[in-house]
Amino acid sequence: MSNWTIGIIGGSGLYAIDGLQDQAWRTVESPWGQPSDQILFGRIGDVQLRFLPRHGRGHRIAPSDLNARANVDALKRSGCTDILSISSVGSLREELPPGHFVVVDQFIDRTKGRPSSFFGSGMVAHVSMAEPVCERMSAFAAEAVAEAGGAVAKGGTYLAMEGPQFSTRAESHLYRQWGADVIGMTAMPEAKLAREAELPYALIGMVTDYDCWREDAAFVEVSEVIAQMGANGTIARKAVEALVYALPATRAASPLDTVLDHALITSDAHRDPALLAKLDAVAGRVLG
């Protein structure tokens, strides 16, 4: 049996996984609140998978209302070793048209007021986000999209905006000047929390539309986005299956498995027992 357990966070356009065996929806409780939904446990071959619909079944949770801490914590409690996030994005580059895929390697966080850490007063920790994704999982993801028949860019900067409104044209031009390639509403603080939970993280962005920076183009309409999401979702489901079958039989350790070894700063005598209890899954390896 493989020692990979892949957590799949499915965003807009990905609401199921093809080929999943022994499926069972299970409630996973988290001290950080309610996850977006139950988690679908299953496997493809020897690889265990845990699927969480980011917005809940029926797409009922708005981006600003997502409980990313509960989602990541629940996946950690479900035994995940790695996370693959799949998200719909808008394009800020002409060469990334609707229907393309981008395996993101950098983020700019423009979200507002979302809890972005498991740690805080009573247990302070600082993890590095210089390289915010897992190089290994990202490489598997890019190869899997290509195997599934998708056009994929390896690397790109994701601008995380608050939403739920789309950008103004001035904002869209600004983000292009900053070097952002795609824009979305959900990858932050998700990627930060995955790092704190010692879960190597990769993100496949599914381009649904051009953001509003193109002066000669009509504004994006949700109906057009939904239509493109359907086509993208078909490729994304095939890519998940292709990724699973491409994984090595044995999961070698990742440096990201132990990022908390040098991140904790609060002395033992000043640690808050209540916060430590909430960190049992995320940081139990170093706090236990």
Q: Which contiguous run of DSSP H or E holds residue 89?
A: strand 82-91
Query: Of these residues, 73, 105, 109, 211, which one is catalytic?
Result: 211
Q: Which two tokens stand for residue 226?
A: 């939904």
β-pairing, 106-110 with 157-161?
parallel
273 by Cβ neighbours in 10 Å (0-12 / 13-18 / 19+) ranks as exposed
pTM, rounded to two decimals:
0.95
Is residue 111 within 8 Å of residue 65, measured between CB atoms?
Answer: no
Per-residue pLDDT at 251: 97
> Which is the catalytic residue, given 82, 105, 109, 209?
209
When divided into structural domains, the chain yields a total of 1
Predicted local confidence at residue 34, as pLDDT: 98
Q: What is the mean pLDDT of residues 158-172?
A: 95
Question: Are 137 and 36 a contacting pair, CB within 8 Å?
Answer: no
Q: pLDDT-derived band of residue 246, with 50, 70 and 90 as boundaries? A: very high
Question: How far is 21 from 134, CA to CA, in rounded Å?
Answer: 26
- b/e per residue 45-58 (b: at least 16 CB within 10 A): eebbbbbbbbbbee
73 carries an active-site annotation: no
Confidence of residue 16 (pLDDT cuts 50, 70, 90): confident
* In 83-183, alpha helices (H): 135-147, 169-178
d(CA 192, CA 118): 10
Instruction: Collect all residues with Cβ–Cβ distance below 8 Å to 237 and sequence separation of at least 6.
Output: 14, 16, 17, 18
Residues 6+ apart with CB under 8 A from 108: 157, 158, 159, 160, 175, 178, 180
Q: Say whether pLDDT at 90 is over 70.
A: yes
Label residue 103 by pLDDT band (50, 70, 90): very high
What confidence tier does 224 reach under pLDDT thresholds 50, 70, 90?
A: confident
Residue 1 has pLDDT above 60, yes or no: no
Q: At what angle do helices 135-147 and 222-246 cross, to 10 degrees?
A: 110
CATH number of the domain encompassing residue 145: 3.40.50.1580
- Angle (CA) 124-202-32 rounded to 5° is 40
Q: What is the pLDDT of residues 62-80, one digit of tens each?
A: 999 999 999 999 999 999 9
Environment class of residue 135 by beta-carbon count within 10 Å: exposed (0-12), middle (13-18) or buried (19+)? Answer: middle
Tokens read off for 72: 């990541």
209 is catalytic: yes
pLDDT tens across 254-264, in order?
999 999 999 99
Domain boundaries, position 113: 5-287
